[in-house]
Amino acid sequence: MRVTTAYTFNASVDELQRRQQGLAEAQLQLTSGKRVQRASDDPTAAARAERALASVARSDADQRALEASRNAMTLTESALGDAGELLQQAREAMVAAGNPTYSDAERAGLAEKLKNLRAQLLAVANRSDGAGGFLFAGQGAGQAPFVDAPGGVVYRGTGGGVDTASAEPLPLTVDGRNAWMNAWSGNGSFVTDNVNSTTAYVDAGQVSDPSALTGEPYRIVFGAGGTTYDVLRGDPLAPYLSAQPFTPGKAIEIDGMAFTIGGAPAAGDTFELHPSRPELGVFDVLDRAIAELATPLRTPAQVTQTVARTLRDLDASMGALQGLRAAVGEVLNRTDMVEGRVAAQKLHGQTERSNAEDLDMVQAISDFQNRQTGYDAALKAYSIVQRMSLFQYLNG
């Protein structure tokens, strides 16, 4: 085989360039700390790194959504705490209103206090989330969700709630209608109501035998002298019990329901019982109490009935808000657990990306030194080839 000087020279130059390129690539890897600089370096590893990068981006988005939910639920929990304190003050005012020594003017003063508490409570219900929305707007509202209309407070928001668009959805808002206007009426099982008596009153009652409850409405009508009563049941109402003896201070039991009628019932006095429903609004409770306390010349039995009914309904409303506050607290606890899972997912993505494209520094330094040695050898070989020409020989 014939090997020319030109061939030898070109081969040396090609080898020198190849080794120089390899050395430059090794140097770039050491500088960047990345084994894969472009997809062509290792298509499989590049694809793994791209999937891992997408996973990290999703984790970052989930973290932002989690923080938004945490902030909203923290504000909601605080608002519900404020509402509970205001309702407790309203309850204390109603207990004071039951004092038999109070005059109409003093009860009117308590009504003014309830008006002030109602205004504060409405402000809490319309509290902003700090981002242009409202905590209790449900699925959204362009204005405050609760409006104080002539007939009472009405809800203008959209029922339901809004969740984060993340792998584990978390709430951003609370359904204001359920929170403030859908507490269970009565004692949670049935509602007692004084229809027309001014000399007697009825308490909230309690369930004495859950298995005996029928879920039907009842009407108790007192006879002459208020010593006996008849019971009607059903829809439409039909005679059920007749001429039942009435003992003042003793509980009346009908189909698993026990309740006490106090005072002095008169002939024709009527009381009703009907099943509880999730329809009790806290503002309606306060409005009714304010109107009744501000009304003068009411009998002691009427005042007692107002106090008993309002305390019953305030307790039901407070229970509903406290239940919601507990649920919001559970959401906050859940966000802590979700945050741990999001952090673990992000770490996994970062680890997977590092495994796919990061450089093994020990191996890389060794490879760089080997390539540098090879490049030095190529340079030396090139310098020798340069001197292997006829002219160099003749000059020598």
Report the Cα 67 to chain-centroid distance in Å.
12
| Residue scoring higher pLDDT (137 or 205) | 205
| Residue scoring higher pLDDT (253 or 61) | 253
Residues 384, 81: Cα–Cα separation, whole Å: 89
| 186 neighbors 192 (Cβ within 8 angstroms) | yes
Q: Is residue 151 part of a domain?
A: yes
Please tell me whether residues 212 and 170 are part of one structural domain. no
Q: Show the tokens assigned to 371.
A: 């390539």
Q: What sections of 265-299 are H helices per DSSP? A: 282-293
Provide the pLDDT confidence category of residue 30 given band limits of 50, 70 and 90. low
- Going by C-alpha positions, the residue among 111, 132, 134, 133 that lies closest to residue 122 is 134
Q: Within a 10 A sphere around the Cβ of 312, how many other Cβ atoms? A: 20
Please tell me whether residues 256 and 313 are part of one structural domain. no
Average pLDDT, the chain: 84
Q: Is residue 25 part of a domain?
A: no
Q: Which amino acid is at 78?
A: S
| Residue scoring higher pLDDT (59 or 201) | 201
247 pLDDT exceeds 80? Answer: yes
Q: Domain end: 258, 276, 294, which one?
A: 276
93 Cβ partners below 8 Å, 6+ apart?
110, 113, 114, 117
Please tell me whether residues 120 and 175 are part of one structural domain. yes
Query: Is the dihedral angle over the CA atoms 157, 161, 166, 170 positive or is it negative?
Result: positive
Q: Is residue 114 part of a domain?
A: yes
Q: Is residue 259 part of a domain?
A: yes
**138 DSSP β-pair partners:** 158
Positions of E strands within the chain: 146-149, 152-155, 183-184, 190-194, 200-202, 206-207, 218-222, 228-233, 238-245, 252-254, 257-259, 261-263, 270-275, 278-280
CA distances 74 to 152, 319, 327, 370, 389, Å, are 29, 20, 12, 60, 86
Range of the domain at 309: 34-185+282-358
Q: Given this model, what pLDDT does residue 256 score?
A: 95
Express as a percent the part of the chain with pLDDT over 90.
53
Provide the pLDDT confidence category of residue 17 given band limits of 50, 70 and 90. low
Q: Which amino acid is at 255?
A: D
300 pLDDT exceeds 80? Answer: yes
3-state SS assignment for residue 5: helix
95 pLDDT exceeds 60? Answer: yes
Q: Domain end: 245, 276, 307, which one?
A: 276
Q: Is residue 368 part of a domain?
A: no
Burial class (CB in 10 A: 0-12, 13-18, 19+), 38: exposed
Arithmetic mean of pLDDT, 144-156: 91
Please tell me whether residues 66 and 165 are part of one structural domain. yes
Please tell me whether residues 264 and 290 are part of one structural domain. no
388 pLDDT exceeds 60? Answer: no
| Count of structural domains within the chain | 2
Please tell me whether residues 147 and 262 are part of one structural domain. no
CA distances 143 to 69, 136, 158, 332, Å, are 21, 11, 11, 27
Please tell me whether residues 81 and 117 are part of one structural domain. yes
349 pLDDT exceeds 80? Answer: no
Q: Is residue 103 part of a domain?
A: yes
Please tell me whether residues 228 and 98 are part of one structural domain. no
Query: Is the dihedral angle over the CA atoms 22, 28, 30, 36 positive or is it negative?
Result: negative
| Residue scoring higher pLDDT (101 or 140) | 101
Arithmetic mean of pLDDT, 57-84: 89
| 61 neighbors 166 (Cβ within 8 angstroms) | yes
Q: Is residue 369 part of a domain?
A: no
CATH number at residue 165: 1.20.1330.10
pTM listed for this prediction: 0.78
- Going by C-alpha positions, the residue among 232, 235, 234, 236 that lies closest to residue 244 is 232
Provide the pLDDT confidence category of residue 365 given band limits of 50, 70 and 90. low
Please tell me whether residues 352 and 294 are part of one structural domain. yes
Please tell me whether residues 54 and 157 are part of one structural domain. yes
221 pLDDT exceeds 90? Answer: yes
Query: Is the dihedral angle over the CA atoms 170, 173, 175, 176 positive or is it negative?
Result: positive
Provide the pLDDT confidence category of residue 180 given band limits of 50, 70 and 90. very high
Q: Is residue 235 part of a domain?
A: yes
| Residue scoring higher pLDDT (75 or 163) | 75
Please tell me whether residues 209 and 309 are part of one structural domain. no
Arithmetic mean of pLDDT, 227-250: 94
22 pLDDT exceeds 90? Answer: no
Please tell me whether residues 169 and 217 are part of one structural domain. no
Arithmetic mean of pLDDT, 268-294: 96
113 pLDDT exceeds 70? Answer: yes
Report residue 56: phi and psi, to 5°: -65, -40
